[in-house]
Amino acid sequence: MITIDKDKDENQPLNKKARSLADIAKWGKITAVFLIITGSLSALSAIVTLLGAIPGVLLIISGVMLMRSAKAAAALQEGLEENAEENMLAHYASFIKMQFFYAASSVVLGILAFILVVIFAVIGIMAYYSTDTYDTPDSYYYENDPVFE
């Protein structure tokens, strides 16, 4: 009989912990690669300012920590290392910390960008209203003594 239930695999019965470790090992590595690539692109695109490159560097470090956690999960699943569980949890804790720092730096940079946009808008509006062309927009082209008549 064919069933859709993934939990009951007749060839290789897995318990819940083993399935979770397999998922962490598989998807952790894939996600880590994407985090490292995204962080690299972010850091390279913001290389002009050191402040803009900080989130990219944090994503790279986060990806490396997730990759180490995924490798430790694979080692724990296969039973290769004695302290694989401790390594997995330690690297995952570092990953969570890096994600917090990334989120905090993104919020700070977003607030700074908003403040800069408001400041530049106010400066632009003030510059517009302080020019003579606001009262007479054609005063530059039409002088008191026109040359061409």
For residue range 36-69, list pLDDT tens digits in order: 998 888 888 876 677 778 888 889 999 999 999 9
Q: Is residue 148 included in any domain, yes or no?
A: no
Q: Is residue 146 included in any domain, yes or no?
A: no
Q: Is residue 72 included in any domain, yes or no?
A: yes
Which two three-digit tokens encode residue 104?
Answer: 């905090």
Q: How confident is the model at residue 1 (pLDDT cuts 50, 70, 90)?
A: very low
Q: Is residue 4 included in any domain, yes or no?
A: no
Residues 6 or more apart whose CB falls under 8 angstroms from that of 77 comprise 18, 21, 22, 25
Q: Are 25 and 72 in contact (CB under 8 A)?
A: no
Q: Is residue 142 included in any domain, yes or no?
A: no
Q: What is the CA radius of gyration of the chain?
A: 29
Q: Domain limits at 22? A: 13-132
Q: How many domains does the chain have?
A: 1
**pLDDT of 3 above 50:** no
Q: What percent of the chain is modeled with pLDDT above 70?
A: 75
